[in-house]
Structure 1
Amino acid sequence: MAKAFTTIGLIGKQKDPKIAESLQQVADFLVAKGLDLIIDQDTAALFPSQQWEAVALSELGQRCDLAIVVGGDGTLLHAARSLVDLNIPLLGIKLGRLGFLADVRLETLDPDLTEILEGKYQEEERFLIQADLEQDNRCSFIGTALNDVTIHFRQTVQIIEFEIYINGRFLSSQRSDGLVVATPTGSTAYALSAGGPILDVNLSGMVLVSICSHALSNRPLVLDAGCVVEVIISEHSTALSQVSCDGQPGIALKSGDKIKIYKDTSIVRLIHPENYDHYSILRAKLHWGKKFD
């Protein structure tokens, strides 16, 4: 049996005043189990009825042995990036619709969470990718992503011209609306909607997916996760483009800029119910299990 948890951190979907009732339900359940509870201070602002200690997210990660995230995949992505260096496991309670990370539902909270708190669960490790920017002979950190790093236009729809290098070797020149570099976790997000393949979450790989490429010959490319991807904005490109990690506010790009994307050394630990099956989630979300009429 895996480790049982004793101190729980509670994190909720930001800027959603409707979440208070769900947070109260989860908090009441945890306290009834005799567990110590700490609330993320930003979550506490959405949860005025709470009477537990509220701390900054970084402190929560240092003091808890499990963080429970109430919301959708976006909320869990934010928590994962914020807490990854603290090596705290994350459990997602799903409030959203289409999602692949948060898999415990409020309707089954009692049986699922009871088993998890008793140490009956699956733990899974997911890796992140990091993006750096070389601009005007200076290198700076852009961010990390559990799902994807995306290069795309800023305001008006314009074709971006860029070159791609893999481990220092030239791969291709492209004219497109942008490029998605996704992890296996992110292969069911933006990359999938752009026509990319689904990667098994245990695969050590990345996928490059063009967004509305000008050339029909551009196709998704799966790489080993140890590869270093470099994207150079063409000197001829006049499009207003930007780079963003997991859909966060982007950093403006200009001609000649180089974006370097590679596997980060940190690992995100995800907790799932004991009966968790990633393929059943794919069937449910993508409607693979429906019988033919």
Structure 2
Amino acid sequence: MEQFRNIGVIGRMGSVKVVETLRQLKQYLVANNYQVILEEDTASILPGHGQQVASKRLLGEICDLVIVVGGDGSILGAARELAKSKIPLLGVNRGRLGFLTDISPSDLEERLSKVLKGEYIVEHRFLLDGHVERNGKPLGFGTALNDVVLHPGKSTRMIAFDLFIDGHFVYSQRSDGLIVATPTGSTAYSLSAGGPIMHPKLDAIVLVPMFPHTLSSRPIVVDGRSEIKLVIGETNEAYPQVSFDGQMNIACAPGDIIRISKKPFKIRLIHPTDHNFYATCRDKLGWASNTTAS
């Protein structure tokens, strides 16, 4: 197991509870002789912290581990910035669901102590890259850990688009858009739209139509190496958007082309040794507990 000495810390902005946990975390790490490097925005909400400060990108170059305090959205933002550096991420949950941030503030020091001693498991999660083209020229680019979503933005009109997978025409569709999700994102927006839950170890991508104008349109699961192309219909009156993890948007126009494929770099998520995907689903999604007699 890796030895962690230089530990980066990122916290979600705008939450008093996050600040409380950040102070507790910093105090614990400093007391145990770890080098703490605060992400620059995080440092701004911890006046008098006395620690080194760095940008997210620099954290990936100088740290052995980055701890993210917040919700799953905080992990998503950190993952996009740090994927290329291959630095492991550990999440402390101060959000709502917490599929990716599975250490609770109530037992932070106990569980963190075990992780820092080498008692942890590692998950590798892939991301998606999305490129938007207009008239054969690049218009915009984004990366997503959860999903790339074509949606109408503020418009209430349906979007007409063509779907191609690995160069093969699949269908033309009129709908509110399409969710292209990784296994990580299968428990997020994709799940709300009726998509399947996929185990994080799967090398697969799911395409989930949003309110399609046909009852026969269903989610499709494809190989994770697939190249997905969306062509926005020339006759569209709406100007849709492409979002990446719901945190970045690119405005599109009729005729634009969106290309989506797996990113060459994966992120590494650190979990305590008792982490279990199915137990997380049971807890976060309210699945029934075992009813069989012991």
TM exceeding 0.5 = yes
* Cα distance in 2 between the residues matched to 1:281 and 1:220: 23
- Kept in 2: contact 1:226–1:262 (CA 8 A): yes
Aligned to 1:198: 197
Aligned to 1:97: 96
Are positions 1:118 and 2:117 aligned together? yes
Task: Write out per-residue CA displacement over residues 43-68 of structure 1, whole angstroms, 9 at most, x where no aligned residue.
Answer: 01111141111122222221110000
Alignment of 1:260-279 (within 5 A): 260-279=259-278
* Cα distance in 1 between the residues matched to 2:141 and 2:74: 20
Structure 1 stretches of 4+ moved >6 Å: none
SS at match of 1:187: helix
Aligned to 2:217: 218
* Cα distance in 1 between the residues matched to 2:48 and 2:101: 25
Shift of 1:17: 5.0
SS at match of 2:36: strand
* Cα distance in 2 between the residues matched to 1:136 and 1:274: 50
* Cα distance in 1 between the residues matched to 2:109 and 2:98: 21
Alignment of 1:222-233 (within 5 A): 222-233=221-232
* Cα distance in 1 between the residues matched to 2:249 and 2:189: 15
- Kept in 1: contact 2:17–2:94 (CA 8 A): no
Alignment of 1:223-262 (within 5 A): 223-262=222-261
* Cα distance in 2 between the residues matched to 1:57 and 1:229: 30
* Cα distance in 2 between the residues matched to 1:122 and 1:264: 23
- Kept in 1: contact 2:11–2:69 (CA 8 A): yes
* Cα distance in 1 between the residues matched to 2:103 and 2:84: 24
Q: What RMSD over aligned residues (CA atoms) do the two structures have, in Å? A: 1.3
Aligned to 1:41: 40
Larger CA deviation: 54-63 vs 229-238: 54-63
* Cα distance in 2 between the residues matched to 1:162 and 1:82: 30
Structure 2 alignment gaps of length 5 or more = none
Aligned to 1:138: 137
SS at match of 1:195: coil
For 1:40, give the aligned amino acid.
E
* Cα distance in 2 between the residues matched to 1:241 and 1:166: 21
Shift of 1:99: 2.3
* Cα distance in 2 between the residues matched to 1:21 and 1:51: 16
* Cα distance in 2 between the residues matched to 1:111 and 1:48: 26
Structure 1 alignment gaps of length 5 or more = none
* Cα distance in 2 between the residues matched to 1:124 and 1:280: 16
For 2:175, give the aligned amino acid.
S
TM-score by length of 2: 0.96
For 2:171, give the aligned amino acid.
S
Number of residue pairs the alignment of both structures matches: 291
Sequence identity (%)? 45
Aligned to 1:22: 21
Aligned to 1:184: 183
- Kept in 2: contact 1:177–1:211 (CA 8 A): yes
For 1:267, give the aligned amino acid.
K
For 2:173, give the aligned amino acid.
Q
Shift of 1:4: 2.5
For 1:189, give the aligned amino acid.
A
